[in-house]
Structure 1
Amino acid sequence: MNRKSFFLPLLLILFPALLTAQTGREIMEWLDAAEEPETTHALVKLRIIEPDGSIKERVIEEWSAEDNSGLSHSVIAFHTPASVRNTRFLVKENTDRDDDQWIYLPALRKVRRIAASEGGDSFMGTEFSYDDLKSRQIDDYTYTYLRSEEAQGRECWVVESLPKEGTDSQYGRVLHWVTRDRDIMRTLRMELFGTGGEIEKIFTVEELELIDGYWTPMSVVMENQHSGRATRLEQQRIELDKPVNPRRFTPRFLETGRTE
């Protein structure tokens, strides 16, 4: 018996997931099914970092919750600096179409719906686009497992996703580094490529922490590979699975900032 045929049965016994989970679709299904909190409420420090090292700081508050249908809704309110205070942004997930997005700009004193054509635009001067803040349907993409590789000190599966024909995406290709530890199941890194094949942005989870039983990104950064700019988000305070008033997820809340 040669060495290869001796070790193969042993691997099947000791590491069954290693040999049966190596399809991109399976890995992304596991990621999609990972347990998430029903609600979140967080205070976040946002830093816009220029190529020369100068920094613009913002403080935002964020709420998210699932409705009775299991669809996710989230709202962001800007607190500082004064130039963006009371700007509010709402995303509502849909089952049969793209997410709905609205923004309230205090200077205009009205709520404006974000058009699909604006999806690739920068969100409030950050390196995140409006499309980056939308949910994604797993069936809109094809997936290929590429390799196993370390990211942020953890072993990961590297999976390539490509949008299917008819899927509206600003990216032609995305590489995902997904933790191999099934108890964590988080994306620690993404490389986002334009439709022309060039790399545009890199997203990295810099700090991951177990909070109330959920692995939670505490610090993330999106780096623009063309401009050299970056946006970093750092959780200052976070609550999970605490009641959130559903009236926050309405255009009325965007306009008034009140839930009464």
Structure 2
Amino acid sequence: MKKYVYIALFTSLTFSAVCSHADETPEEKGMAIARETDRRDSGFGDSAYESIFTLRNEQGEESIREFSIKTLEVKDDGDKELGLFHKPADVQGTAVLTFSHGLQPDDQWLYLPVLKRVKRISSVNKSGPFVGSEFAFEDIASWEINKYTYRYLRDEVLDGQDCFVVENTPAYEYSGYSKQIEWVDKAMYQPRKIDYYDRKGDLLKTLSFSDYHQYLNQYWRASKLEMVNHQTGKSTVMARNQYQFRNGFKDSDFAENALKNVQ
């Protein structure tokens, strides 16, 4: 008799779970996807990697920039990130420091070795190009869950990978985008592609992520990111390598007054 009770109970619970999932609004499902993405990527502590920017103009001419990035995870706030350029000579020693936040404006500073001064980047100027690339200053800040509102659009297979397609609308002030359409890999809960729409609602750029690797048996990172500007014909490829996690970075390593001494 108990066997049938258990079957009936299991069937009832399963039916309730299915109904509950089916009853989700597109906004609730979009937020659930974002929360799972955030959960899976939390707890890494800190990381560092080397990167090469390949900038291509509309004629296909290329220029190369080499830099390194250090990131410090911050509990109950956005991450801190410090980038330092090594090559070519005209940008060598240039450093950018970013304190990401949620709805509050990100704090960003730029150190220009030619001027030997630290310049604070205005919160209204985050849509400007980052050192001449197709990445904007707001693109290089860490993703924080409450920076956007979310709306699930559909499921879709992209390059053989099952993805959620979600519309992300910036909830913070002074974004250069009206919305983003993101393809989130269902297995990794990491982005495969993001379409960026300008303030007029026109498609501006597409960012593609590829060559993912897993670190610490949990954290997925793409080794190649390509940003294509559909309105100018320019593009930037970011190749990331030599990832290292849990380096023991401290808050003092990301202080504003340390920018001039970064090596």
TM-score, normalised to structure 1's length?
A: 0.85
The CA deviation string for residues 63-114 of structure 1, in whole angstroms up to 9 with x for no partner, is: 0012465541010000011111000000013466211000001111100000
The corresponding residue for 1:62 is: 69
The corresponding residue for 2:259 is: 254
Within the candidate set 190, 198, 202, 1:198 is matched to: 202
In 2, the alpha carbon distance for the partners of 1:96 and 1:163 equals: 9
- Kept in 1, the 8 Å contact 2:106–2:123? The answer is no
User: Structure 1 residue 237: deviation in Å?
Assistant: 1.2
In 2, the alpha carbon distance for the partners of 1:80 and 1:141 equals: 34
- Kept in 2, the 8 Å contact 1:152–1:188? The answer is no
Amino acid across the alignment from 1:176: E
Matched, 1:52 2:48: no
The corresponding residue for 2:227 is: 222
TM-score, normalised to structure 2's length?
A: 0.84
Q: Within 5 Å, which residues of 2 pair with 1:170-181?
A: 170-181=176-187
Q: Given the superposition, is the C-alpha separation of residues 34 and 116 from structure 1 closer, same or farther in structure 2, using an over 3 Å criterion?
A: same
Q: Within 5 Å, which residues of 2 pair with 1:1-260?
A: 19=22, 23-36=29-42, 37-67=44-74, 71-94=78-101, 97-164=104-171, 167-181=173-187, 184-213=188-217, 214-257=219-262
User: Structure 1 residue 248: deviation in Å?
Assistant: 2.5
In 1, the alpha carbon distance for the partners of 2:69 and 2:108 equals: 15
Q: Given the superposition, is the C-alpha separation of residues 132 and 95 from structure 1 closer, same or farther in structure 2, using an over 3 Å criterion?
A: closer
In 2, the alpha carbon distance for the partners of 1:199 and 1:96 equals: 24
Identity of aligned residues (%): 24
Aligned length: 244
5+ residue gaps, structure 1: 1-8
